[in-house]
Structures are given as C-alpha cells and as structure tokens.
Amino acid sequence: MNDDNLEFPAETFSAVKWNAGMLTLLDQRKLPREINYLDYDSALAVAAAIKDMVVRGAPAIGIAAAYAVVLAARTAWQEAEESWREKIEADIETLAAARPTAVNLHWAIAEMKKVFDSIEGDPEPVLLETAICIHEEDIAANHEMGRLGAELIVANSQVITHCNAGALATGGYGTALGVIRTAFKNGSIKNVFSSETRPWFQGARLTSWELQQDQIPVNLVIDSAIASVMENNKIAWLIVGSDRIAANGDVANKIGTYSHAVSAYYHGVKVMVVAPSSTVDMDIESGVDIPIENRGTEEVTDFKSTRIAPNDIEAINPAFDITPAKLVDVIVTEKGIVHNPDTEKMLALFG
Ligand code: MRU
C-alpha cells in the first residue's frame, strides 16, 4: 500500500506527556482494554510507575525519568532553594534504580544532570526545557531510523517483531515499529507477525493494537511459534528494538529476542535492531556485562493473579536476554546503520 495521505493514529496518543505542570502517563498495564491516563507530581511516584510497568520501553522510560527530574527539582527547590542540587540526589538514585537493563534511563538522567551547574535560581524552567528537548529529539530520531531502516526492506516483505518497540515504548512513532510504519507506507511491508511476548504480553496487547490502529496487517502468534512461522512463510526480516547495545554490538532486548534471532539465523531471515544512540552503551564492552532485570516469579507461575503452576515450584523470570552481535545483520540508529556489527564499526560511529 502506498498512500501519502495515510493517517497514523499512533501519532495521536502519547505514552508520556507533560501536561499542566504534571507528568501524564498512559497506563500500559491495561491496554488495549482500558485507556487510562495517570498524573504524577512526584519523582518517587514516577520511579514506582517505571518499576510497575505503567510506562515501559527503553526510550519512554528515559523520557519519563527526565520529566521526573523536573518534578524532583521543583520539590527540592520549594523545600530549600540553596541546596536543591543536594536534596534531589536521593530521588535521582531511586529513579535510576527503577529498572536496571534499559540504559536510556541512566542516559536521560545524566543529560538532565549536565545542566545542573549552569542553573541560576528556580531550576524548573531550564530542566523542563531540557526534558522536552530529550522527548522531541527521541521522536525525531525515530522518524530518521524509520527512514533508514525502511530503505533496507524490499517491496512486499513479511516481517516479524517481538515485544513492543512502538509509539508506546518511545517518545512517539517507535523504533522497530517506526521502521515498520515507514516501510508499510512505502509499500515495502505487506504483513507483520507479532509474537505475544510472555509474561507481559507486550506483543499481544500493545504491538498488535498499534499496528491494527494503523491498519497494518498483523498476525499475532505465540512466542514459541516463531521458528515455525519462519519455516512456513517467506520472512524477510526480524525487526526488534533494544534496551542496551554494548560496544561490540551485542544487543539486550526483551526475553525471547535471542531465541528468535537463533531461529532467524537457521532460516536465513535477516535481523534488524532499531534503537536510538541513547541506547548504545560504549562503556560496556560486551553483552555479558549488561545487567539483566529479574522480575517477580509470580509473573511466570500465575496468570491474571491465579496460580497455574504447582505451589512449591522454583521459577526464574529474566526480563531480557542478550543477542550476540554475530546474529545481528544491522543496527539502525539515527546516526547511521552498522552492518554486521563489531567493536571497530561501533567505535567508528559512536566512539
Ligand atoms: O519490559 P519492557 O516492556 O520495558 O521491555 C521493552 C523492550 O524490550 C523493548 O523491545 C525495548 O525497550 C525497545 S523499545 C523501543
């Protein structure tokens, strides 16, 4: 389909927005059944919202944290004008610890802290301007990545995506879904397979919903069907986002990405990782050093708060995995594309 007038409803909602002096988050835990916005006026409440998955997706978490720093500074300034920089530190530490894998959280907080020294007087206006800038730059990066990634996809392709790397996971438009949106608009993608993404069902609840709203044909499949989907359909690309990319090109992303990439290798399906440069962590040499979040085991043993596993079973619940660089064909960022990533090529673009 090639229609320049095609509307993209994903542009009409925002997972994260600054509204009347407060941070508003679209509660992603209940989507798509309930569309509910929650307002936040404290950094600690935002940290809890990040931990509890009200807002999720690496870039969206970073943007929410940037706005949370504004809220923390406002409170600290109201309590003690001379020492707001010291007072804010405890809140920032709690924010930074909310989720460990997505480096965008730490990156955004560091960007906010960079302007602390230059602030005179009330910190809120300058910090708000910085947070808005982080938010707007993320949206612009997504559109640029959409353009770059879509150029790699030939006409009438079928692709697979995992988890949700869409408008909901970012400032807007999406990373992996940004590429898919642009490629669909260009007529390069005719169908998407979205894997459900246990245990939070980001693929089933969020990606399928976003694509459906944009009238992009999508088939929802269970995670373990992916090898079979690759065997029985002509799939051009596996397109995913990332929570952190190490200096050698190893990619941390939602649990299941690694097994999808192994299946892709076996079936000759190419792997595209789409992420803004704020997801690249050149301080981490390889994927083994990326901290992987382990979440509560009730996410595995229970379904909708009902126990489905035996009472005394010991489950484990890693929320992310590492796809080695050698299984990745391209990393698409707003700064450019890295083909067959390794340390040398990553350094050339991000060094
Ligand atoms: O646990 P989540 O939902 O925050 O995990 C999100 C992912 O793994 C996404 O694929 C990743 O953050 C990229 S989002 C543009």
The two three-digit tokens of residue 122, written as one number: 């009330």
Check whether residue 151 and residue 230 sit in a common domain.
yes
Counting from 1 in the atom list of ligand 1, the atom nearest the Cα of 56 is 4
Distance 16 CA to ligand 1 centre (A): 15
Q: Quick one: 127 and 260 in the same domain?
A: no
One domain for residues 264 and 205? yes
- Gap from CA of 185 to ligand 1 centroid (Å): 24
Could you tell me if 104 and 153 lie in one domain?
A: no
Q: What's residue 164's pLDDT?
A: 98
In the block, residue with structure tokens 């993404």: 197
Whether 243 is a known active-site residue: answer yes
Nearest protein CA to atom 6 of ligand 1, as residue? 57
Q: Give SS3 for 152.
A: coil
CA of 170 relative to ligand 1 center, distance in Å: 9
> Best of 145, 181, 242 to mutate for ligand 1, by most ligand atoms within 8 A of CB?
242
Domain-located, residue 201? yes
Q: In residues, how long is the chain?
A: 351
- Residue 28 belongs to domain spanning: 16-140
Ligand 1 nearest-atom number relative to CA 99: 4
- Ligand 1 binding pocket mutation candidate from 107, 139, 240, 253 (most atoms within 8 A of CB): 253
Tell me, yes or no, whether 181 and 197 share the same domain: yes
Shared-domain flag, residues 186 and 244: yes
Task: Report yes or no on 7 lying in a domain.
Answer: no
CB contact at 8 A, 171 and 60 = yes
Of 107, 140, 173, which closes a domain? 140
CA of 107 to the centre of ligand 1 (A): 16
| pLDDT per residue as tens, the chain (351 positions) | 333 434 445 656 799 999 999 999 999 999 999 999 999 999 999 999 999 999 999 999 999 999 999 999 999 999 999 999 999 999 999 999 999 999 999 999 999 999 999 999 999 999 999 999 999 999 999 999 999 999 999 999 999 999 999 999 999 999 999 999 999 999 999 999 999 999 999 999 999 999 999 999 999 999 999 999 999 999 999 999 999 999 999 999 999 999 999 999 999 999 999 999 999 999 999 999 999 999 999 999 999 999 999 999 999 999 999 999 999 999 999 999 999 999 999 999 999
Tell me which DSSP letter residue 291 carries: P
Indicate which residue's Cα is closest to atom 8 of ligand 1. 254
Of 292, 290, 291, 286, the closest CA to residue 346 belongs to: 286
- How are beta strands 320-323 and 237-240 bridged, if at all? unpaired
pLDDT of residue 295: 97
Q: Which atom of ligand 1 is nearest to the CA of 162?
A: 10
Separation CA 103–CA 276 (nearest Å): 11
Residue 237 maps to a domain:
yes
Pocket around ligand 1: residues whose beta carbon is below 6 Å from it? 56-59, 102, 163, 165, 169-170, 175, 202, 241-243, 253-254, 319
Determine the distance separating the centroid of ligand 1 and the alpha carbon of 342, expressed in angstroms. Answer: 23
Rounded distance between C-alpha atoms, residue 180 and residue 141, angstroms: 15
pLDDT for the residue numbered 289: 98
Query: Which residues share a beta bridge with 218?
Result: 192
In a domain, 11, yes or no: no
Say if 5 falls within a structural domain.
no
| Cα 179 from Cα 276, distance rounded (Å) | 12
Give just the sign of the alpha carbon dihedral 197, 203, 204, 205. Answer: positive
Residue 254 Cα: closest atom of ligand 1: 8
Rounded Cα distance between 226 and 228, Å, is 5
Q: Which pLDDT does position 13 carry in this prediction?
A: 78
Q: Point out the catalytic residue in the list 243, 250, 281, 329.
A: 243
The tens digit of pLDDT for each residue in 35-77 reads 999 999 999 999 999 999 999 999 999 999 999 999 999 999 9
Return the pLDDT at 308: 97
Ligand 1, atom 5, lies closest to the CA of 57
180 C-alpha to ligand 1 centroid (Å):
16
Domain end call among 140, 169, 193: 140
- What pLDDT shows up at residue 236? 98
State how far the Cα of 174 lies from the Cα of 184, in Å rounded to an integer.
14
Query: Pocket of ligand 1, candidates 51, 104, 145, 163: which has the most ligand atoms within 8 Å of its Cβ, to mutate?
Result: 163
Q: What distance in angstroms lies between residue 204's CA and the mean position of ligand 1's atoms?
A: 14
- Residue 130 in any domain: the answer is yes
Residues 186, 77, single domain; the answer is no
Q: 227, 190 in Cβ contact below 8 A?
A: no
- What phi and psi values does residue 206 have, to the nearest 5 degrees? -105, -50
Q: What amino acid occupies position 215?
A: Q
Phi, psi for residue 176 in degrees, rounded to 5 = -60, -45
On whether both 127 and 268 belong to a single domain, the answer is: no
Task: Give DSSP secondary structure letters for 8-56.
Answer: -GGGG--SEEEETTEEEEE-TTSTTT---EEEE--HHHHHHHHHTTSS-
Number of domains in the chain: 2
Q: For residue 151, what pLDDT is reported?
A: 98
Q: Are residues 216 and 300 in the same domain?
A: yes
What secondary structure letter does DSSP report for 237? E
Q: How many helices (H) and strands (E) does the chain have?
A: 12, 16
What per-residue confidence (pLDDT) applies to 2?
Answer: 36
pLDDT tens for 300-318 read: 999 999 999 999 999 999 9
Residue 129 and residue 153 in one domain? no
DSSP bridge pairs for 25: 16, 38
